[in-house]
């Protein structure tokens, strides 16, 4: 039974996947001729595989596209998602002509885009039709009558404005009606594999106290009043700070944390000050910090090269996690 309240665009027969692109008529021009392409040096064998692998070098996030057909929610994993325009707000998705999802997308159809969080690999597999053991049933929030995967890092609801011929895929241009994002890390896809960002910024905090204490001993105290800015994005990161009293709020796009007594700020920047600060740091109340300048740090490391080696080991171990 069709929901009488459901907008007309949801009243779509699901079984006609191959008919999807043709349903758009004027948006699909005549099929251009097939073009051969040249493979670069060292790339031999099946050109289709080489092409796929080449495209796989483009690292992306992972989304689940969702829509409703009558009472049913349908989801599909897609990484062919891109932002197109800010004004009007437009996004584009590319859907395989064989996918059931494509058959549900018509001009005017609303679709959801859920940007998956690093821990949602299982959901990505699930919505790609792959076996994903032990993954809990997905749950959906409904916004603008459109299902969105709960727990995702960001959500968009868009309405299909135009669609275009895209070879064995169809391109759907959607006007965004709703957008939100939360905090967390994205799931990434690169070279046919899931990847993740390493954002552990601890370096000095992982040193044993016998190596860290002599560095901190060269610091001097500084106080801040409530709401005072301690560090600003883009400033040179030439100081390492230890919170001695109070708490500080660290804000960067998509991420906010509070650091308290005993925690260090600016651990990476002080080793690479030209990169600039990557976050705004503000005092949450009265704050007292121990400040070690980069010059003092260099003096401490020259005095005890064991500390310098220990820092390199910490960074090498972090690098190891990504390769
Ligand atoms: P189906 O294959 O029928 O469904 C997909 C899966 O989702 C099935 O397992 C189904 O059980 C499950 N599912 C659907 N709705 C629900 C629900 N309500 N509750 C629970 N489970 C549900 N293909 C593209 O066309 N474009 C892309 O950009 C793209 N990117 C991809 C990126 C990655 C990382 C991966 C792994 C795959 C990608 N794919 C892409 C492939 C695509 O996800 C699969 O081909 C998918 O199976 C096509 O979905 P479908 O619409 O045909 O539906």
CB 75 near ligand 1, within 6 Å: yes
The Cα–Cα gap between 238 and 277 comes to 9
Ligand 1 centre to CA of 23 (Å) is 21
Tell me what the mean pLDDT of segment 198-208 comes to.
86
Residues 287 and 309 in one domain: yes
Residues 227 and 302 in one domain: yes
State pLDDT tens for residues 101-158. Answer: 999 999 999 999 999 999 999 999 999 999 878 888 999 999 999 999 999 999 999 9
Q: How confident is the model at residue 35 (pLDDT cuts 50, 70, 90)?
A: low
pLDDT of residue 323: 55
Tell me what the mean pLDDT of segment 24-37 comes to.
57
Residue whose CB lies within 8 A of the most ligand 1 atoms, among 69, 129, 133, for a mutation test: 129
Residues 88 and 221 in one domain: no
Residues 234 and 180 in one domain: no
Which of 139, 164, 196 is the last residue before a domain boundary?
Answer: 196
Residue 2 has pLDDT above 50, yes or no: no
- Residue 5 counted as domain residue: no
State pLDDT tens for residues 213-266. Answer: 999 999 999 999 999 999 999 999 999 999 999 999 999 877 789 999 999 999
**Residue 116 CA from chain centroid, whole number:** 8
Residues 100 and 187 in one domain: yes
Which of 196, 219, 237 is the last residue before a domain boundary?
Answer: 196
- ∠ at Cα 130 (15, 80), nearest 5°? 75
CB 80 near ligand 1, within 6 Å: yes
CB 101 near ligand 1, within 6 Å: yes
Q: How confident is the model at residue 81 (pLDDT cuts 50, 70, 90)?
A: very high
13: phi then psi, degrees, rounded to nearest 5: -70, 130
Q: Whose CA is nearest to atom 9 of ligand 1?
A: 129
Q: Whose CA is nearest to atom 52 of ligand 1?
A: 99
CB 74 near ligand 1, within 6 Å: yes
Classified as helix, coil or strand, 224 is strand
CB 6 near ligand 1, within 6 Å: no
pLDDT of residue 61: 97
Segment among 13-17, 43-47, 154-158 with least mean pLDDT: 13-17
Residues 49 and 182 in one domain: yes
Element (H, E) at 290: strand 287-293
- Residue 115 counted as domain residue: yes
Q: How confident is the model at residue 25 (pLDDT cuts 50, 70, 90)?
A: very low
- Start-to-end CA distance of the chain, whole Å, equals 52
Task: Give the pTM.
Answer: 0.72
Which of 143, 161, 196 is the last residue before a domain boundary?
Answer: 196
Residues 293 and 256 in one domain: yes
Residues 54 and 165 in one domain: yes
Ligand 1 centre to CA of 141 (Å) is 19
Q: Whose CA is nearest to atom 31 of ligand 1?
A: 78
Residue 31 has pLDDT above 80, yes or no: no
**Which domain does 305 fall in, by range?**
204-322
Structural domains of the chain, count: 2
Task: Assess contact for 42 and 184: CB atoms under 8 A.
Answer: no
Q: Whose CA is nearest to atom 8 of ligand 1?
A: 129
Residues 227 and 119 in one domain: no
Residues 44 and 134 in one domain: yes
Tell me what the mean pLDDT of segment 79-107 comes to.
96
CB 60 near ligand 1, within 6 Å: no
CATH number reported for the structural domain that contains residue 301 in this entry:
2.60.120.10
Q: Whose CA is nearest to atom 21 of ligand 1?
A: 127
Residues 180 and 72 in one domain: yes
**Residue 19 CA from chain centroid, whole number:** 33
CB 99 near ligand 1, within 6 Å: yes
């Amino acid at each position: 039974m069709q929901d009488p309240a459901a907008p007309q665009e949801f009243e779509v027969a699901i079984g006609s996947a191959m008919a999807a692109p043709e349903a758009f008529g004027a948006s699909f021009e005549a099929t251009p001729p097939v073009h051969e392409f040249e493979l670069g040096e060292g790339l031999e064998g099946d050109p289709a595989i080489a092409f796929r692998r080449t495209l796989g070098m483009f690292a992306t996030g992972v989304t689940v596209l969702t829509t409703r057909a009558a009472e049913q929610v349908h989801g599909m994993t897609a990484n062919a998602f891109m932002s197109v325009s800010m004004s009007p707000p437009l996004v584009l998705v590319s859907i395989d002509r064989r996918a059931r999802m494509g058959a549900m997308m018509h001009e005017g159809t609303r679709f959801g885009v859920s940007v998956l969080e690093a821990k949602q690999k299982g959901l990505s597999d699930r919505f790609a039709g792959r076996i994903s053991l032990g993954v809990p049933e997905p749950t959906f929030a409904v916004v603008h009558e459109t299902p969105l995967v709960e727990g995702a890092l960001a959500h968009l609801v868009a309405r299909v404005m135009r669609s275009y011929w895209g070879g064995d895929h169809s391109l759907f241009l959607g006007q965004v009606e709703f957008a939100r994002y939360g905090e967390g890390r994205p799931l990434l896809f690169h070279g046919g594999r899931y990847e993740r960002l390493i954002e552990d910024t601890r370096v000095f905090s992982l040193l044993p106290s016998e190596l860290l204490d002599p560095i901190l001993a060269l610091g001097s105290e500084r106080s801040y009043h409530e709401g005072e800015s301690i560090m600003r994005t883009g400033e040179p990161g030439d100081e390492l700070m230890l919170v001695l009293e109070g708490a500080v709020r660290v804000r960067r796009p998509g991420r906010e944390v509070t650091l308290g007594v005993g925690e260090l700020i600016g651990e990476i920047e002080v080793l690479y000050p030209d990169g600039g600060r990557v976050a705004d740091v503000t005092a949450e109340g009265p704050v007292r910090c121990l400040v070690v300048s980069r010059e003092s740090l260099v003096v401490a490391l020259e005095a005890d090269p064991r500390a310098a080696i220990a820092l390199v080991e910490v960074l090498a171990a972090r690098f190891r996690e990504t390769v």
